[in-house]
Structure 1
Amino acid sequence: MPATEYLTITNFEELKDRTFTVVSSEPPVVLKLVEVKKMGSGEREGGAFSVLWQGPSEPFLPQSIYRFSQAELGEHELFIVPVAEKTDGFQYESVFT
């Protein structure tokens, strides 16, 4: 399991449509990885990219750093930003540069 600073777009592409649990939220919140998008150059291996998660309507997660857990990826602290409200809940984005 790579450290957060060594996560690449490939790590997330392999997990598209899988669920992640925000374990630092009370109660824990399950988010589904719905999009992985390359963003051009960046300082990390493989360049910059973003990931988009779909979450429930409740609870809402404000912009912050959260501890995520995922079976294949392990636990990582990720900064997420709410970017959209859909009929089935909120979407959150993380950008890796």
Structure 2
Amino acid sequence: MSADPFTLARFEPLIGSGFTLWLDDATALPTRLVEARAGGLAAPDGRQPFSLTFEAPPAPALPQNIYRLEHPQQGAMDLFLVPIGRQPGGLQYEAVFA
């Protein structure tokens, strides 16, 4: 893994896999990574922007906020998630890395 743990290459193999989204110390929601997408032009330092789309159950609807997500192989990470819409499977949330 690179020095920067948040890269598109880290998340692409995880598409379709499950995460646990923690609302607090005792309440968690099952969440799935449904998309990892490259963004626009690379930054002057060579960093490639990208976004991640997660799908969670239809309720509760979460406001934009920083949430702790855990993945069985990748461990825990805190991501700023923004709700982006409803799909038949639930609510979708996006994390953007610029």
TM class by shorter chain equals 0.7 to 0.9
- Distance in 2 (CA, whole Å) between partners of 1:22 and 1:51 is 14
Structure 2 residue matching 1:11: 3-state secondary structure: helix
Instruction: Please tell me whether the aligned partners of residues 9 and 38 of structure 1 are also in contact (alpha carbons under 8 angstroms).
Output: yes
Shift of 1:23: 2.1
Q: Which residue of 2 aligns with 1:33?
A: 33
Q: Which residue of 2 aligns with 1:23?
A: 22
Change (3 A) 1:43 1:35: farther
TM-score (norm 1): 0.85
- Distance in 1 (CA, whole Å) between partners of 2:80 and 2:45 is 16
- Distance in 2 (CA, whole Å) between partners of 1:2 and 1:23 is 26
Which of 1 and 2 has greater Rg?
2
Shift of 1:24: 3.7
Shift of 1:30: 1.2
Q: Which residue of 2 aligns with 1:63?
A: 64
- Distance in 2 (CA, whole Å) between partners of 1:42 and 1:27 is 37
Matched, 1:77 2:74: no
Once the two structures are aligned, what percentage of the paired residues are identical? 34
- Distance in 1 (CA, whole Å) between partners of 2:49 and 2:28 is 28
- Unaligned runs of 5+ residues in structure 2 are none
- Unaligned runs of 5+ residues in structure 1 are none
Structure 1 consecutive aligned stretches of length 4 or more whose deviation exceeds 6 Å = none
- Distance in 1 (CA, whole Å) between partners of 2:74 and 2:6 is 9
Instruction: Please tell me whether the aligned partners of residues 9 and 46 of structure 1 are also in contact (alpha carbons under 8 angstroms).
Output: no
